[in-house]
Amino acid sequence: MNRVLALTRSELRLIFRNKTVLISTLAVPLGLGLFFALTGFGDGSGASIIAMQLAMVLGLGIYVAATQTLVARRQNLVLKRLRTSGISDAGLLTATIAPVVLLAVAQMVLFAVVDVAFGLPMPSSPLPIALAAVGGLALVVTAALATAVVTPTAERAQITTLPLFFVMVGGAVVLAFLPLEGIASLVNLVPGAPLGSLANVAYGGSAFSLVQLASLVVWPVLFGLLARRNFRWDARA
Amino acid sequence: MRRPTGTVVPGGTVVVMTETAVRTDIAIGVRDLRVRYGEFEAVRGVDLEVRRGEVFALLGTNGAGKTTTLEVLEGFRTRSSGDVSVLGLDPGTERHRLRERMGIQLQEGGFVDELTVAETLELWGQLSPREDRVGRLVDRFDLAHRRDVRVSALSGGEKRRLDLATAVWGSPELVVLDEPTTGLDPAARRRTWDAIQELQDGGRTVVLTTHYLEEAEALADRVAIMHEGRVAVAGSLSEILASRPSSFSATLPAGVTPPPGIDGPAVRVQTDDLQRDLTAFLGWAADHGVPLTDLRAAPASLADIYLSIRSEA
């Protein structure tokens, strides 16, 4: 555990040393999240704002940033070298991703404070939002590991992360506005869509469904299996 | 299963040792190792034995299977078949336990560019189960004046030395070095040799690969030369050199007929009995009053053996 913490500290220090990473990890999602809160994004009901804040922090702050970090560390052979140290493989991946996760969680807390300060309507039940945050976290972390499998360079990560990022944000936005029911609720199966639909549930817009739960569980499991099977530690094929 | 055994030393103290400790001085044992990549077999039945406390050099042509063999020993590559034991552990299933006792320098391995030399070593120390001091290592590898410089600003040779410093952090029981002096200038190479010698003096086992034959001759107690996935020759340097013919050469004056069976005037003879044949040749020259120029005699060199393995293939 001490080794994971030591590497996490080192990675965190690196984020604050690299302005480009700092902006993409911290400033952009933070700025967008504040923008949504200040402008009353969408119908101003709260569900759409919280869904977008979650989607931005999870998508940009973790998914894109973690994929770039993993691929960059692999590309310059750092992952390969660190595997020769005393840290376990799981510990190495955890410590590499942990700093962006910590910063993202800090941003979520900040958004909660800002939303309260700006008088955003409070959800009738905060549990669905907590579920969306935890499930979303599992989704983006495993998705970052899986996307790293098909991403040869850190520059290419800006492209390979786009499809899932847009699907996630799109799904979250659509389902925050539209409480789909019946067969249409299967849209919840799109990765990230439960961020919106669970925000809607939290504000009493629709009922909680097992499809949402299935989506929260199935995608991280699939991405996790894909990464476990195919993750490469070496930049060389 | 380790079975405790005991012996009484003067003074009546009972020294308890495990059966493993009593039984073996083998650090690495490899039997019929095979590694396949699809249809291609990169390692084709390698047998190796590395004794505790020795420096063992693995030589070979590019693509001979050296790095693949090392990766199996390090636990980074899955073997297709064969038995492998490193410090009594199976690297395929006990890589993490092995890492506690093993230092590794990869042929290619990177560091985070934004960290300084000292920060890199400090981090390494926090990730390592062994204790050491950053100051000792930057002094040892001539990086003291660069300790606050970021890795991105280091030269290739300096990065290689930093790499080696991390590999020997805490003087691990076994150190595996994949081409440790590639890219180093002669002075840095000499310091690396000294560091390897220091490890051996401290009772550590060192396995290294190198393309520099003089490095193997200078450092290794025993060598193995790999070619096309197999060990072509293995043993101590003296054993290997003794198994190959020695040679002597000389130049005869123009117009002198060389002794029977020898071509001249540029004489070059390969022999399994240097003393006998050279004595006979010198006797012939003395008897016939023939002045010899450029007279040289030498046992086989590692370079000769290396080149002959390549040409025989």
What is the three-class DSSP state of A236?
Answer: coil
Q: What does the radius of gyration of chain A's CA atoms come to, in whole angstroms?
A: 18
Report how far Cα A168 is from the mean position of its chain's Cα atoms. 9
Find the CATH number of the domain harbouring B6. Answer: 3.40.50.300
Domain of B218?
1-101+173-179+200-243
Nearest to B99 among A7, A17, A86 (CB): A86
In a domain, B106, yes or no: no
Has residue A1 got a pLDDT over 80?
A: no
The reply to whether B123 touches chain A by the CB within 8 Å rule is: yes
The pLDDT assigned to A62 comes to 92
Q: Once rounded to an integer, what is the mean pLDDT over residues A195-213?
A: 80
The reply to whether B108 touches chain A by the CB within 8 Å rule is: yes
> Among candidates B215, B173, B166, which has minimal Cα distance to B194?
B215
The pLDDT assigned to B220 comes to 92
For residues A96 and A79, give the distance between their C-alpha atoms in angstroms, rounded to a whole number: 9
Q: Which of residues 45-104 of B touch A (CB under 8 A)?
A: 74, 76, 96, 99-100, 103-104
Note whether B3 and B89 are same-domain residues: yes
Q: Do B110 and A80 touch (CB under 8 A)?
A: yes
Note whether B237 and B265 are same-domain residues: no
Note whether B225 and B299 are same-domain residues: no
The residue out of B243, B278, B298 marking a domain boundary is B243
Number of domains in chain B: 2
pLDDT in tens, A43-68: 657 888 888 888 888 998 899 999 99
The pLDDT assigned to B313 comes to 59
In a domain, B50, yes or no: yes
The pLDDT assigned to B3 comes to 36
Note whether B276 and B291 are same-domain residues: yes
In a domain, B251, yes or no: yes
Q: Between these two residues, B165 and A209, which has the higher pLDDT value?
A: B165
In a domain, B275, yes or no: yes
In a domain, B189, yes or no: no
Per-position pLDDT tens, chain B of length 313: 333 333 333 333 343 444 334 346 899 999 999 999 888 999 999 999 999 999 999 998 888 899 899 999 999 999 999 999 999 999 999 998 999 899 999 988 789 999 999 999 999 999 998 989 999 999 988 899 999 999 999 988 889 999 999 999 999 999 999 988 888 888 888 888 998 999 999 999 999 998 888 888 889 999 999 988 999 888 888 888 877 888 889 999 988 888 888 887 899 888 888 889 999 999 999 999 999 999 998 887 777 887 877 776 5
Q: Once rounded to an integer, what is the mean pLDDT over residues A96-109?
A: 91
For residues B89 and B87, give the distance between their C-alpha atoms in angstroms, rounded to a whole number: 6
In a domain, B235, yes or no: yes
Note whether B289 and B215 are same-domain residues: no
Note whether B2 and B95 are same-domain residues: yes
Q: Do B127 and A83 touch (CB under 8 A)?
A: no
Nearest to A10 among B110, B123, B128 (CB): B123
Note whether B215 and B299 are same-domain residues: no
Note whether B17 and B42 are same-domain residues: yes
In a domain, B296, yes or no: yes
The residue out of B216, B243, B270 marking a domain boundary is B243
In a domain, B231, yes or no: yes
Report how far Cα A147 is from the mean position of its chain's Cα atoms. 13
Distances (CA, A) of A31 to A26, A67, A75, A80, A114: 8, 21, 30, 35, 12
Note whether B5 and B96 are same-domain residues: yes
Note whether B75 and B1 are same-domain residues: yes
Note whether B274 and B211 are same-domain residues: no
Note whether B205 and B296 are same-domain residues: no
The reply to whether B166 touches chain A by the CB within 8 Å rule is: yes
Please give the model's pTM, rounded to 2 decimal places.
0.81
Q: Between these two residues, A173 and A64, which has the higher pLDDT value?
A: A64
Q: Do A85 and B127 touch (CB under 8 A)?
A: yes
The reply to whether A230 touches chain B by the CB within 8 Å rule is: no
For residues A8 and B275, give the distance between their C-alpha atoms in angstroms, rounded to a whole number: 66
Question: Between A and B, how many residue pairs show a Cβ–Cβ distance under 8 A?
Answer: 61
Least trusted range by pLDDT, from A33-42, A221-230, B136-145: A33-42
